[in-house]
Structure formats: structure tokens, C-alpha cells
Amino acid sequence: MHKIQTACLLLLVGLLLYPLSAEGQNIVRVPPFSGTNYLNNIINGDTLANGTRRDPNAVYVLQRGGLYLSNAVIRNIGYTLRLQTHDTTAGISNPAVFLFPASAGGNPPGQFVDMRGDAIIKSLIISGYFEADPTELTKLQGALFNATAPGLNLTIDSCILTNTNGNHIRTDQAPRTIRVTNTIFGNMGYLGRSNLGAGKGLDVRGGSVDSLIIMNCTFVNWQDRVVRHFASTANINYMRFEHNTLVNGMSYHGLLSLGRVGRRIIIRDNLLIDPFGAGQDTDAVRQAEFTDSGELDAFGFPRMTWIFSNPNDSTSWLIKNNYYRVTPVGQSFYDSASILPIVANPPLTVGSPLSYHINSKIGADSATAFRTTDVSLANVPRQMDALMKWYRRPTAMGGANKTKATGNWAAAYDYDRRSYQYWRDTLNASYSTSHAMYTAGTCGYPVGSLMWFPTRYAAWLTDPCVNTTLPVKDGDPGVPTAFELEQNYPNPFNPSTKIAFSLTGSGFTTLTVYNVLGQKVASPMAQNMEAGRHEVDFNASDLTSGVYFYRLESGNYSAVRKMMILK
């Protein structure tokens, strides 16, 4: 019945429309590097002398299997940077981008993108140095993406991000939304250029974040933290950290250091293998950044936990179905601390996953929020025990003497650093489908990143069960009071626009585009969504000029609006 009503509405409105002429699409196909065509020059070169963009809606499409060099920072001032792979050709790898020195003997750029506008990155491999020359590792710089203007949106999907000495993603100004999905984070930190307080997946610094969404990602080899929001001055208002696999972390200053938090934090269905490698210790240098919780250990110093925040009484926490393992190598390191020159007192342990405050907020769920498992992953790097033993040794024995100083660090103590080819071709964080973990997640899905179980991932994307297990609680701050589909912006547009909507409850949600004949021409979104306000980027490169309608459906609600493509 709904389909008949929609088609009739579209046909009726279509009688009032006039035809519009079609023009070319805005795809910019970028050839692989061939001696002079640095990726940054191509993108920055599309900014005209007067500061305007040649095409503000350009989509830079890189060739599968291609290698690209970027030797200066890309600054997308006032426009959305769109970088993606050109097709889905089977058997050909995603393109790889390397940061490269601008001159012989120089350093690679300090970051890949200095975000001054939104960025949408899909299906790329990005490494912080030119891996074909191993000596370039000694010049490794601080970041891949850094947001230096407020109110921005960063979307990264199906990428490999590897090799920074600081953080793969950093926001020095308050972003609106950071959404990272189906992405591998590898090699976070390098003591040849920085210290143990660096080496993070996402560093959102001290400002606010409206939405921080990290789902179906794999993190391997981090020195410091997966998420840093330490000593923050404003909230992470909403965070969803779900179905991620985390392997081999020193976790020098914590794992998820969340600082100030707002209306809702969701942490569930994650698999963690040696996630707190350095252990729970009495170490004043490390403990200096475990202060947000305000909790103290038995010696009166900041208590070390994996996940902690500034206490408040308003945040809604959902923490369930997380599993962790300390491998034999990881346990051997804890045990060895009793005989090393710097003896752990009390003995090292993997520590407590949650602060006392967070435990109190989740109540009975605290008993099962994190449980142990014996699962083994198919192919992952070795735990970084050599690095952690070096950290504990006295200076006289060539160690760091439990300081951040790295003057006597040597490459022999580096963690099991792997190349981009390893992340692309060899890393395998799957496990046996006969293991209990395969059905231990919410709604019977595997725990950890579902990117390692493609058929289960495909089912999960359209399973209404997933988000019905995220109930909206009465009085949750920030939950919309009404279902709403907003007018797209810009409108008219060519070829990209944003479609925003608000949901009062969780559930399977679809966004569908129709032409004036009532024929479906695009499906920008079909997935489980939580209550709240959301935005979808719609690219109409494959459509001709004219009037179209977009329909939002979620549960028993639906709405239709009109938009115009003008090429």
C-alpha cells in the first residue's frame, strides 16, 4: 500500500515539473604516480588563484593497484574532500598513498590532510612514509588526518591507515562527527621520532565531539591509546564503539581515555587480545594521565583502568558482550616483571577494564561487560613484549628506566611493525567459526570486527535485531522528540548533497531516492540506526538533471521530500 501511495504522489508532482539539460559528471580520475604528479598537487591545484575551487563537488578517484605519493599537506579549506577507489574490480588491491619528502633528505609532510572542511575517504591504503625505502621510517611524522577547524565531519570507510609517530586521526578543533568503519589501524607510534605518550588511533584532544562512531574496525600495534580525550574541556556527546577487534596494545596511558562524556556511550561486541600490554602498575609517569576518573589506587596514586572518564550522573552507558584474552606472551611479560631489575609491586596484571564510576552506572551489566576468552586469531603480529621490557630496564642496562625519554631506544626494541602489504594481504583477525565467540555477540553475531566474517557482516547490516537492543531510555538527553526528515542541503545540487533526519527510536532505517515516475534510482542508506539526528551524504553523479524524491522509512514512520539535481 505504501508503494502505491508513493508512486501516485511522485507522478502527481511530476506533472508540474520542467525538463533540465544534463551535463558531465564531476569524477576526477587520478592516475598513479609517474614522476611528477604528486597527489597533493593535483588536489590543491584545483583551487584557483582567487581561493575558489574549480569544482567544489569533485570526487578524486584513484586507480586500483596504483601507488601514489603525497609530498605536501592537503588543506581542503571550505570544501568537502572526497577520495575513493574507482571500482570494485575483484582481485586488484586498493590504491596505496605514501607520504613522501618534498626534497631529497627531507621529511614527509606532517600529515596527509589538514582538514579545514569535511572529508570522505573510502577504500584507500594510507601510510605515513614511503615504505619502499626502509630508511624513511626514521623521518616518520605525526598524523594522517588532523582537523584544525571546528564543526567538521570526517567519514572513513574500508581503509588501511598505518605508520604515524603520533596519531592516525587527530582533531585540534571540535568536530561534529567522526565516523570510521571497516578500517584497519596499524603501527600507531614510533619511538625513533616521539615518546610513549604518542601512538594513538584517534586523538580527539580536549574539545567536544558530537558523534564518535567506530565500528567494525581492527586496531593492531598501538603504543599509547586507541581513543584519547584526556583532560577534555567539553563532551563526547555520543560514542558508539562496537564490533571492533583490538590486538597488541601497550596502552601506556590507557585504552579508551574518554574524558568528559555526554548523553550516551555504547561499547559492545568488541574483541580485545593483549589490550593492556604494559599492565596495571605503580608507575607515576604512566599514572599522570589516568587522572580523569578521580579514582586512586592502594598507594594513593591515579588508578589505572582500560576505560575511564570524568564522572557525571547524566551519561547513559551501555557496555556489553566484550571479550578479552591475555596471550601466553602477554602473561609471560607480566610474570617477568617480578624478576626484572625494576620489580613490579604489586605484581603486574592486565588490570580492570572499567573505572568504579562506570561500573556503578551500568549496574548488573558490570559483571559481564568484559569476559575472558581463549580464542586464537588466524594471523596477527606478536605482542610488543620487547618494547615493554626495554621500558622497565634501568638506564645502565640500556632501558628507559620507566620514563617517556627515548634517547637510548634502538630499533631492536620496536614492536612487531608490519608493512602495508601485510595489513592488506596477510593480517587475519578471524577465528574458528566453531568457537563460542562466533555467536557470542549481540543477536548471535561474532564478537569483534565483522569485516573478518563477510557473510555475517552482510546479514548484520540489515538485521533489525541489532538496534532494537539499543533501547532509548525515557529522559535521555539529546534524543529527538519527533521523527523528522529535513530538506536536503544544498538544493539544487550538483552532484552531492546532505540529507539530515531525526529518529526517536532505534531500528532498521532506509533512505531511498525515486524519479518522477516513481522508479527507485538510488538507495543511499539501508542499515540499523540509533535514535538521534543523523546525516547522509548522497552523490548523484550517475543521475541526470531533474527533480527527484527521497523517502525515509524507519519502523512505522515514513516521510518524503523533493530535491533537484541541476548540472
pLDDT tens digit sequence for 94-111: 999 999 999 999 999 999
Q: Does domain 2-22+475-565 have CATH number 2.60.40.2550?
A: yes
How high is the pLDDT of residue 463? Answer: 84
- Indicate whether 23 pLDDT > 50: no
How high is the pLDDT of residue 285? Answer: 96
How high is the pLDDT of residue 306? Answer: 98
- Indicate whether 452 pLDDT > 70: yes
Can you list the alpha helix ranges (DSSP code H) found in 77-209?
A: none
pLDDT tens readout for residues 214-271: 999 999 999 999 999 999 999 999 999 999 999 999 999 999 999 999 989 999 999 9
How high is the pLDDT of residue 476? Answer: 54
- Indicate whether 444 pLDDT > 90: yes
How high is the pLDDT of residue 8? Answer: 40
Return residue ranges of the chain for CATH 2.60.40.2550: 2-22+475-565
pLDDT tens readout for residues 352-387: 999 999 999 999 999 899 999 999 999 999 999 999
CA distances from 441 to 250, 324, 459 (A): 26, 13, 14
pLDDT tens readout for residues 505-514: 778 899 999 9
Instruction: Kindly indicate the confidence band of residue 4, based on its pLDDT and cuts at 50, 70 and 90.
Output: very low
Beta strands in 54-164 (DSSP E): 59-62, 67-70, 74-75, 81-85, 96-99, 113-115, 119-122, 125-127, 143-147, 153-157, 160-164
How high is the pLDDT of residue 490? Answer: 86
Cα–Cα distance, 153 to 162 (Å, whole number): 21
Cα–Cα distance, 12 to 31 (Å, whole number): 46
Cα–Cα distance, 103 to 132 (Å, whole number): 17
Tell the residue number behind the cell numbers 586464537, with chain if given.
Answer: 376
Determine which of 23-37, 223-237, 421-435 has the lowest per-residue pLDDT on average.
23-37
CA-wise closest residue to 243 among 375, 378, 437, 382: 437
How high is the pLDDT of residue 88? Answer: 66
What H or E segment, with its residue span, contains residue 258? strand 256-259
Backbone torsions φ then ψ of 209, nearest 5 degrees: -135, 120
CA-wise closest residue to 277 among 202, 341, 226: 226
The predicted model gives 138-166 an average pLDDT of: 95
pLDDT tens readout for residues 108-135: 999 999 999 999 999 999 999 999 999 9
- Indicate whether 144 pLDDT > 70: yes
More reliable by pLDDT, 452 or 211: 452
The predicted model gives 534-558 an average pLDDT of: 89
